[in-house]
Amino acid sequence: MKTVMMTATGGADVLAVMDLPEPSPGPGEVLVDIAASGVNFMDIGVRQGMSWLDMPLPRALGVEGAGRVAALGEGVTDFAVGQRVAWVYAPGSYAERAVIPAASLVPLPDNIDDRTAASLMMQGLTASHFTTDFYPVQPGDVALVHAAAGGLGQLLTQIIKLRGGTVIGRVSSAAKVDVAKAAGADHVIVDTKGNFVEEVLRLTHGEGVHVVYDGSGPATFHGSLASLRRSGTFCWFGPVLGGPGQIDIMSLPRSIKLGYAVFSDHIHTPDLLRARASRLFDWIREGALKVAPATTFPLADAAKAHLAMESRTTVGKLLLIP
């Protein structure tokens, strides 16, 4: 069974495809034939040694995907052999097959294809958490979305629009403007150096936005602070690009609210996972949410996928296809 493993911490060159013994599901587990695996920034963080440090090397990468049940472990009654499923946060998903806890799986309806599901689980559930729980967007709210042409940025934009908000999207190049607008962004700012505040304030008549969604690292942190109106909410996420350093809480301006959003707090039980995923699937069926076609790579090209993501030149989701 081919699996992408990291042989050490470091750059993309530490990734290697290895042949491992065929896995068998234990109690409460399911063996899945993987059709598509999602590539996420957290995978780069693992590769660089930011997390999973307690797991021995070589270490299997990937946490998200979609496929079909191949075998059931003892006690699993929620799924059947041959059933299509998707998952998020199941380590070892860069592979032809994986053993996954049944509690981490959601059933896939017929109208959701494997690649759409693998593109949606991590980013869709994250976008859902950010916009309906961490800061429940209300009609008339104005949101600043960084990396608005990325997979997460496009989903954030669409859900904000579903909830009646206005989106100011920030992108890193003019080539990404049309992608952000196609997702529903009302205004798009092209910026690579963190010089976006003046335009945000102009667009909001000097008031600032109600909420900012920022996973772009420390380069945008202070600009995002300056873009918020009084009592605005700062949704900070994405540890791979680094944090802003120490913060003096008494220096935070305009009574803003600042938090680090983690989607696992949104779906901390299997029932919530399936309910939130089902809502995403319903939005897709109704045409209210669209997932842009993914950029795909063969499983053997996982290193190329990582380099493409790190280049910040891609739009939408990146997938590995076994």
pLDDT at 192: 85
pLDDT at 314: 77
pLDDT at 265: 86
- Which domains occur in the chain, in start order? 2-121+267-321 (3.90.180.10), 139-260 (3.40.50.720)
In the predicted structure, residue 245 carries a pLDDT above the cut 90:
no
Residues in contact with 208: Cβ distance below 8 Å, sequence separation at least 6, in sequence order: 200, 201, 226, 227, 228, 229, 230, 232, 254
Question: For 209-238, what is the mean pLDDT?
Answer: 94
pLDDT at 241: 66
Percentage, residues of the chain above pLDDT 90: 85
Side by side, the strands of the sheet bearing 59-60 are 15-19, 2-6, 59-60
pLDDT digits (tens, 9 = 90+) for 169-218: 999 999 999 999 999 999 999 998 888 999 999 999 999 999 999 998 88
pLDDT digits (tens, 9 = 90+) for 261-319: 987 888 899 999 999 999 999 999 999 999 988 999 999 999 999 999 988 777 779 99
Mean pLDDT of all residues belonging to the chain: 94
Residues in contact with 169: Cβ distance below 8 Å, sequence separation at least 6, in sequence order: 145, 148, 149, 153, 157, 180, 181, 183, 185, 187, 188, 189
In the predicted structure, residue 37 carries a pLDDT above the cut 70:
yes
